[in-house]
Amino acid sequence: MWVRNGDETVATCRAGGAQSGPLPTRMGAGSGGEETVTTALTKPKPKTARPPMYKVLLLNDDFTPMEFVVLVLERFFHMPHTKAVEVMLTVHRKGVAVVGVYTYEIAETKVAQVMEFARRHQHPLQCTMERE
């Protein structure tokens, strides 16, 4: 007998009967007193969905000093110095680069931190986010 048990498909039959296939995993007493054997036939569907992720982007401009962008990448995106220089140069040459991928609230916080830091130092550096 085929039964949907939540998201899991199981087969149930009377214990002791000739049965081929995977070994039984669960046993229980039926309402009539007879024992049943239940075997999972498909993988149970995971019930935890992953949250949507957001890319944080750094944009190039002609005025923000390279050292300032490197500092931003080290301070807010925890990049080692050599990696920060590499990413800064990618933005400088290509116009934009993804500097991190986060859940919505973390991405929003990073963007706000970078924008505030740039504003305080009077640099026109722009940082944005978009859904992955």
Task: List the one residue out of 64, 74, 58, 78 whose CA is nearest residue 120.
Answer: 64
Q: Which C-beta is closer to ligand TYC: that of 9 or that of 90?
A: 90
40-99 residues in contact with ligand TYC (CB under 6 A) are 58-62, 64-66, 69, 88, 91-92
CB of 61 to ligand TYC, least distance (A): 5
Q: How large is the angle between the packed helices 66-77 and 81-94, nearest 10 degrees?
A: 120
Which CB, 12 or 113, lies closer to ligand TYC? 113
**DSSP structure class, residue 51:** P
7 Cβ contact partners less than 8 Å away, ≥ 6 residues apart: 44, 45, 47
Is the Cβ of residue 37 or residue 97 nearer to ligand TYC in the bound state? 97
Q: Which is nearer to ligand TYC, 10 or 91 (CB)?
A: 91
Sign for the pseudo-dihedral over CA of 58, 108, 102, 116: positive
Summarize as ranges the residues that interact with ligand TYC (CB under 6 A). 58-62, 64-66, 69, 88, 91-92, 125
